[in-house]
Structure 1
Amino acid sequence: MTFSLLHTQLLRAGCLSLGLFAAGQTLAAVPTEQVARLGQDLTPIGAEQAGNADGSIPAWTGGIGPDAGQRDANGFLSDPFSADQPLFTITAENLAQYQDKLTPGQLALFKRYPQTYRIPVYPSRRSVIMPKAYLDTSRLNAADTQLAEGGNGLLNYRSGGLPFAIPQNGLEVIWNHIGRYRGLTFQRMVVQASPQAGGAFTPSLIKQQLAYPAGLSDYAPAEMANVLYFYREEFLAPARMAGGVLLVHETINQVKEPRMAWQYSAGQRRVRRAPQIAYDSPGAEGMRTMDDLDLFNGSPDRFDWQLVGKKEIYIPYNSYQLGSPKLKYSDIIQPGHINPAHTRYELHRVWHVSATLKPGQRHVYSRRDLFIDEDSWQAAEADAYDGRGQLWRVSEGHGSFFYDQQAPQFSAETHYDVLSGRYAVNALYNEQPNAYQFGVPYSRKQFTPSALRAAGIR
């Protein structure tokens, strides 16, 4: 689908969606003069255009475009910043110099692995930009979208745009992460692993497909008004897991209409509802929760979300080297944590949101802190605390920008248990040719329970 056709489709869908909610609240989410800042002192999706005081974070000048690099014959993007060299490397020995720009979770990883964990810091490159259609819809949402149902849903939200380009509170920031741009439709073939303490691992190959309603060929705004996105994943390896398929309809208001999930069991050849695919149900051999994936996903209703503010920290960024086809999974996965020789961190401004478990609600985490990149609205760091208030899990999203598609994604997503010393890593694709495909022509019928059985036959 061309950007011009997509632009027309999204604007038409936005007008229909707005009319759908006309009987509800219609007051502007933020004053008109604030919305006018988008594209002025703020980027089109709300980041500060200016650099920081000492220039270590540069001004945003429009991101990088398709000509920043090229794809090889197997679909791997070249690194547009391959000539960059580390400015310095943070280690356990010099940690005190930099700890004010690190998260508690990063500090915990240095404490747990003082000999091997390190953070190589590179020049900061503000590479992210999204398609014009998405930016235009985001501007409309900034003026109209509001929180509903105690923050557990959205009013006047148009699919294909950021909900809150100028957020006023922690819930609006977390909704921006949940609803951020990743491409309107895409498919990826990625590897997940949960290595043993000694580093041994068995890779799981997973096909994951995601579509936002506005990206479907048969998009129906009235029928899909409460659908945020459709998601399907199929395990292809190892043999003991192959053929299992999961389908999720992620809803906008999950209190009014909970997430709908189904699983296909290859052994039983049956499709069943899967209400357990949510919240703190375990995933990745118990190394993370279901709502840890993507550093946070699903309904925010069990936590109180507080906006702590913005700060500058060193986060994984432009992680092209980590996604390089020159690396094998065994080059990356090592005991305790992934190999830092292949990581890249940069200084960026992030939104810090702290979530505490609501009284009377149940979750294995009593608190979680997310640090969300201002340019992409993609979470880069997440810290999770157990019921005793002790830091338990530390997650990092090693973001890469697919400049030819104007879509932020991950080269790796890690979840570290700093108490047990094990971890899970997801979204690796180094050994998978053409791992990412964007603009896949999906229709709604491909995300129905009846479609699971055909997908799972092996």
Structure 2
Amino acid sequence: MLKKKILLTSVLMVSFIGFNAQAKVSQKEADQLGKDLTPFGAIVKGNKEGTIPDWDGGLDSNKAPASYKRPGQHHPDPFPDDKVLFTIDAQNASKYKKKLTPGLEALLKTYPTTFKLPVYQSRRTHTAPDWVIENTKKNATTGSLVKGGNGIDHAYGGVPFPILSGDKQEKALQAIWNHLTRWRGVFVTRRSSEVAVQRNGDYTLVSSQQEVFWNFFNPEGSEKDLENILFYYLSFTKAPARLAGGAILVHETINQVAEPRNSWGYNKGQRRVRRAPNLAYDSPIAASDNLRTADDTDMFNGAPDRYTWEYKGLKEIYIPYNNYKISQPDVKYADVLGVSHIAPQFTRWELHRVHVVEANLKGTERHIYSKRVFYIDEDSWNIALVDQYDARGELWRVSMAMLKNFYELPGVWTALDVFYDLQARRYHVQGLDSEERDTRVFETKVPNSRYFKPRELRRRGR
């Protein structure tokens, strides 16, 4: 183990040397955080039309509805009196073209009578604990990209690059790393279901329990303690019966070019734990019926090395935001899951500024997506929408994160994710939890060191 640590350290040091990307900004620039800029780097002021409001501190447990009583409870809608301002559909889409992504336009065109975007008042609800805010300000003057942008250095426990800097490639990679390392708590347990919906509307629920320890936000740790681990992830399948008992363990590395993610699977039939070396890049995910690749998960994850990256700037776009209706305990999965797409009446769309990042596949690399365009919420650094193109350069798949604020976190994260295949006319939903007793449970505890070890996988899976 010691030899492995020494070797990894040497590899990482080599990757740090000779890279000229200086993401860090001056102290004077960093001092704008909490003033003209939010603590996370977004512009405090809204737009001149007033359709995007000023950021006023966000939403936390102190501002939650009185009916919110305990952690894990499904979140009551903090804006129950908000009304739909207007609805975008296939007939009026051209009127809003400048604020729609190509993916949204394609969905409106593909399903002209049923797919709609109910647009509500925009509310900027993102925030974070004070210690995350403090770390973010420190990171602004120290954080940097390693060679090739395949990792980060001198950043911990906050947004690594709250103020983007450098050339278009560096800004793009910084924005992607802000997404990969965004605040989602310290330790979270979630029980939810995912489905692949066929063209005729049929589906089979796959239910599981996931547990994640965000090592990057370990309150008892520091950057030197990371050992190149971003987070630890455990997932146990609960249903259907033929899959129940199976389990997956992932040690998510930061620089996956220097050290690929480590993953293991437990097969209940064989009662064996085996490595899962191919859980990366465009490997298909079985539970999604091949509608989601490994690096589609969470809108994007893993190493960025197969693409060239370009920052396209800030743009005002309609994105899914403050989606509380879709996860209310009285909402049934059958109500949400339409034949071709999720039911529009349970969604909420708002106008927000997003960072637009484009990734084009390198000529020497392979991936099923030749191009990907990411639309990243300026406040929370969550990727909200993704347009993904096939080898012919045609728009193929559209991914969306149905964002909302979690009062107890506090902060904006996804309620559930949807992955549309425009060519197959099927879709996949991950994170359904309205029929579960509880939603995500966030804790500040640091798990025992053996908790995420492969040898524990069989015991806990069984």
Superposition TM-score, scaled by structure 1 size = 0.92
Q: Is the Cα–Cα contact under 8 Å of residues 281 and 294 in structure 2 kept in the other structure?
A: yes
Instruction: Give the letter for the 1:235 counterpart.
Output: T
Q: Which residue of 85, 88, 104 maps to 1:87?
A: 85
| Secondary structure in structure 1 of the residue aligned to 2:197 | coil
Give the aligned partner of residue 254 of structure 2: 252
Shift of 1:217: 8.1
Deviation sequence 1:182-205 (CA, Å, 0-9, x none) = 112111111100011111111111
Instruction: Give the letter for the 1:346 counterpart.
Output: E
Q: Is the Cα–Cα contact under 8 Å of residues 216 and 231 in structure 2 kept in the other structure?
A: no
CA distance in 2, matches of 1:412, 1:44: 26
Deviation sequence 1:285-323 (CA, Å, 0-9, x none) = 101111001111111111111101110010000000111
CA distance in 2, matches of 1:193, 1:444: 33
| Secondary structure in structure 2 of the residue aligned to 1:288 | coil
Q: Is the Cα–Cα contact under 8 Å of residues 207 and 236 in structure 1 kept in the other structure?
A: yes
CA distance in 1, matches of 2:176, 2:375: 10
Q: Is the Cα–Cα contact under 8 Å of residues 217 and 443 in structure 1 kept in the other structure?
A: no
| Secondary structure in structure 1 of the residue aligned to 2:108 | helix
Superposition TM-score, scaled by structure 2 size = 0.91
Shift of 1:444: 2.9
Aligned ranges 1:381-392 → 2 under 5 Å: 381-392=385-396
CA distance in 2, matches of 1:219, 1:72: 31
Shift of 1:214: 5.2
| Secondary structure in structure 2 of the residue aligned to 1:282 | coil
1:106 aligns with 2:104: yes
Give the aligned partner of residue 206 of structure 2: 204
1:116 aligns with 2:120: no
| Secondary structure in structure 2 of the residue aligned to 1:98 | helix
Structure 2 residue runs without a partner (length 5+): 1-11, 166-170
Share of identical aligned residues, percent?
Answer: 43
Q: Which residue of 25, 34, 41 maps to 1:30?
A: 25
Q: Which residue of 60, 63, 68 maps to 2:64?
A: 68
CA distance in 2, matches of 1:397, 1:214: 22
Q: Is the Cα–Cα contact under 8 Å of residues 126 and 375 in structure 1 kept in the other structure?
A: yes
Q: Is the Cα–Cα contact under 8 Å of residues 197 and 421 in structure 1 kept in the other structure?
A: yes
Shift of 1:412: 1.7
Which region of structure 1 is more displaced relative to structure 2, 47-56 or 66-75?
66-75
CA distance in 2, matches of 1:202, 1:424: 11
Q: Which residue of 429, 447, 458 maps to 1:453?
A: 458
1:418 aligns with 2:438: no
Give the aligned partner of residue 401 of structure 2: 397
| Secondary structure in structure 1 of the residue aligned to 2:451 | helix
| Secondary structure in structure 2 of the residue aligned to 1:188 | strand
Give the aligned partner of residue 39 of structure 1: 34
| Secondary structure in structure 2 of the residue aligned to 1:255 | coil
CA distance in 2, matches of 1:220, 1:61: 30
Instruction: Give the letter for the 2:81 counterpart.
Output: A
Instruction: Give the letter for the 2:38 counterpart.
Output: T
Aligned ranges 1:33-432 → 2 under 5 Å: 33-66=28-61, 67-69=63-65, 70-71=67-68, 75-158=73-156, 160-168=157-165, 169-213=171-215, 219=221, 222-283=224-285, 284-432=288-436
CA distance in 2, matches of 1:225, 1:157: 13
CA distance in 1, matches of 2:219, 2:454: 19
Q: Is the Cα–Cα contact under 8 Å of residues 187 and 440 in structure 1 kept in the other structure?
A: no
Which region of structure 1 is more displaced relative to structure 2, 100-109 or 196-205?
196-205
CA distance in 2, matches of 1:372, 1:414: 16
Which region of structure 1 is more displaced relative to structure 2, 206-215 or 424-433?
206-215
The change in CA–CA distance for 1:217 and 1:317 in structure 2 (over 3 A counts) is closer
CA distance in 2, matches of 1:31, 1:374: 21
Structure 1 residue runs without a partner (length 5+): 1-19
The change in CA–CA distance for 1:216 and 1:52 in structure 2 (over 3 A counts) is closer
Q: Is the Cα–Cα contact under 8 Å of residues 27 and 144 in structure 1 kept in the other structure?
A: no
Q: Is the Cα–Cα contact under 8 Å of residues 60 and 411 in structure 2 kept in the other structure?
A: no
Shift of 1:71: 2.6
Instruction: Give the letter for the 1:166 counterpart.
Output: I
Q: What is the number of equivalent residue pairs in this alignment?
A: 436
Displaced runs of 4 or more, over 6 A: 23-28
Shift of 1:223: 4.7
Q: Is the Cα–Cα contact under 8 Å of residues 196 and 429 in structure 2 kept in the other structure?
A: yes
| Secondary structure in structure 2 of the residue aligned to 1:412 | strand
Q: Is the Cα–Cα contact under 8 Å of residues 216 and 444 in structure 1 kept in the other structure?
A: no
| Secondary structure in structure 2 of the residue aligned to 1:395 | strand
Q: Is the Cα–Cα contact under 8 Å of residues 23 and 145 in structure 2 kept in the other structure?
A: no
